[in-house]
Structure 1
């Protein structure tokens, strides 16, 4: 393994949790290589002229030192020149870890750093679509030494939300309670996280889109008694309808994986959505989306009876299905 000393690790991207974790792993590598290393932590915005030279100088009390510099996008112009001068001739006894939070600010500095052979960049971007979060969960579980199927990964995202820190914790909990050699299934996710509000929202949405009115109303009444925010239900139904509308308008002949990318849904959902779409036409989808939009306005605007607004929405949406 190449030494971290005399090198610069550049961590870039808008995923704060991933950046924090990458930074912590990098520091662990540095201290593993040199247990007596002194690690200095600093934020870029507060650096004064000449201070960077001190932070990147060999330590008086150790043969090696390290600098972790966060918020690189806020590095003052004078300090930028000092950093670039150091990178051009780095000390073999110093390891440097730079963290940039993404965006265009400081892009000029990043471009210059990327041209230097001693700089290694690690990009940590936040997933964008639901399917991307599910892929992230799949990779996270794999890195923990276990397996999770696609449906379970997607359900975990629906259960926990799109906070990577919370998803990582949930994945760790599931793996810790998993029998060796078995795969995390949707049923196991439901066992641990099935009571979460978001899951109920999507269950209500699926039942409504499938025309299972009694199931949808029963779940909606459970949600109301459990104090689930009505906006979670309207949001889930709006997402389901928009996905169906995208599927209906997709070019013919697209493969499931291509459709999933086009819609922003995980591939395994395409089969279910195709089945749902058989009971819908464009006019029905448009009317249903309008009904959900009105219900969303009602519950966000403090309707006198939000539970009634949700139940009315379920009935109005289901009524737009083709018989």
Structure 2
């Protein structure tokens, strides 16, 4: 966005805080480049009338950019002041409003849209498909290449938190050269809890009992809790069941339907060919039992995971 592109009205809408912060920052940077003074207004502790006061012409002239955060949790007074401000001409004032979702503040949103505000959508990034898309966009924005295996490895390693995922992308862009693949990601993030859990699950689902147990013991020795490992085992088995029942279609089509990333569909398709329906049922029951034990229902959580792994690999072998 250039200085000349500063809009008089902007609406940043959606719950994904990382995207909201970036969008607001772009508008603020453009406003500063155009010589505007930036005034920030938070919904929390808002004093009635202060918005109108901020928007009033200055004795020294100049332009202003008023940023209102948290419209979705704003008091009625702030909403009324916003509507009052939007009801008249905005001389030398640009207004950026951020709304995290929900019905509160809807009248302000509708008014902003009716007046032609620039709208930036910041939808929640929840599913692995969403996170994979986010990673690919991060690297495309930085004009860097990342392989599909690299995307998978990064989402598995740090995908629990979008802010951490964004930071991991930025670190890889800054610290590496060339195309980023799973080996590069593993060098930087292979020791994370999620990455350890996925390695154990990959080996177990592939029927590699010895390797799965070795990876499990290494993970436990480095401080990984058994609970997230069991959660990953359960997640991968559920993906096999979903993909196995979905029938034919391209990976992209199934991914959209099932709420998965295309690489997850591809991985599940390769794996499910070696499983029977009965085998998957046995494996899922074993993971459910392990989940109960690692969350306090058993005496030895590590042994519970080991037993589940052995049951899973035997169930696959019985295909």
Q: Indicate whether the TM-score tops 0.5.
A: yes
Of the three residues 238, 244, 247, the one matched with 1:242 is 238
Name the structure 2 match of 1:257.
Answer: 252
Show the counterpart of 2:92. 93
**Partner-residue secondary structure (3-state), 1:249:** helix
Matched residues in 2 for 1:162 and 1:305: separation? Answer: 27
Partner of 1:310: 305
CA distance in 1 between partners of 2:133 and 2:313 (Å): 32
Quote the Cα distance in structure 2 between the aligned partners of 1:273 and 1:188: 23
Quote the Cα distance in structure 1 between the aligned partners of 2:262 and 2:73: 40
Distance in 2 of aligned mates of 1:60 and 1:288? 74
| Counterparts of 1:59 and 1:278, CA distance in 2 | 71
Determine if contact 2:48/2:77 at 8 Å carries over to the other structure. yes
Mean alpha-carbon deviation: is it higher for 219-228 or for 299-308?
A: 299-308
Q: Structure 1 length normalisation: TM-score?
A: 0.92
1: CA distance, partners of 2:66 / 2:266: 51
Indicate the residue corresponding to 1:68 in structure 2: 67
1:43: which partner in 2? 42
CA contact (8 A) 1:248 1:282 kept: no
Taking the aligned partners of 2:149 and 2:104, their CA distance within structure 1 comes to 38
- Mapping 1:17-56, distance limit 5 Å: 17-34=18-35, 37-56=36-55
Helix, strand or coil at the partner of 2:195: helix
Query: After alignment, is 127-136 or 255-264 more displaced?
Result: 255-264
Counterpart check, 1:148 vs 2:146: yes
Match of 1:193 among 165, 189, 193: 189
State yes or no: 1:105 paired with 2:100.
Answer: no
CA drift of 1:78 comes to 4.2
The reply to whether residue 134 of structure 1 matches residue 132 of structure 2 is yes
Q: How far apart are residue 178 of structure 1 and its match?
A: 2.2
**Does residue 223 of structure 1 match 2:223?**
no
The alpha carbon displacement at 1:139 in A equals 0.4
Alpha-carbon offset, residue 5 of structure 1: 5.8
Q: Secondary structure at the match of 1:96?
A: strand
Does the CA-based 8 Å contact 1:40-1:66 persist in structure 2? yes
Contact 1:234/1:310, CA 8 A, preserved across alignment? yes
Deviations 1:263-307 (A, max 9, x none): 333223333322211221222212211211111111111632111
Distance 1:224 1:6 in 2: 54
Contact 2:7 2:118 in 1 (8 A): no
Structure 1, 211-220 or 19-28: larger mean CA deviation: 19-28
Asked if 1 retains the 8 angstrom alpha-carbon contact of 2:145 and 2:180, the reply is yes
Ranges in structure 2 where 5+ consecutive residues have no aligned partner = none
Q: Which residue of 1 aligns with 2:179?
A: 183
Deviation (angstroms), 1:194: 1.0
Q: d(CA) in 2 for partners of 1:288 and 1:108? A: 52
| Structure 2 equivalent of residue 8 of structure 1 | 9
CA RMSD of aligned residues (A): 1.9
- Does the aligned pair in 1 maintain the 2:71–2:104 contact within 8 Å? no
**Structure 1 position 124 matched with structure 2 position 110:** no
Instruction: Tell me if the contact between 2:294 and 2:301 (Cα under 8 Å) persists in the aligned partners.
Output: yes
By how many angstroms is 1:130 displaced?
Answer: 0.4
Q: Residue 58 of structure 1 contacts residue 65 of structure 1 at CA under 8 Å; is this kept in 2?
A: no
- Whether the aligned pair in 2 keeps the contact of 1:291 and 1:316 (CA below 8 Å) is yes
Shift of 1:309: 0.7
1:157-206, CA deviations, whole angstroms, 9 ceiling, x for partnerless residues? 11113322211211111111222xx2111110011111112111111111
Distance 1:90 1:168, change over 3 A: farther
Q: TM-score, normalised by structure 2?
A: 0.93
| CA positional deviation for 1:32 | 0.6
How many residue pairs match? The answer is 317
**Structure 1 segments unaligned to the other structure (5+ residues):** none
Say whether 1:296 aligns with 2:291.
yes
Q: Secondary structure at the match of 2:176?
A: coil
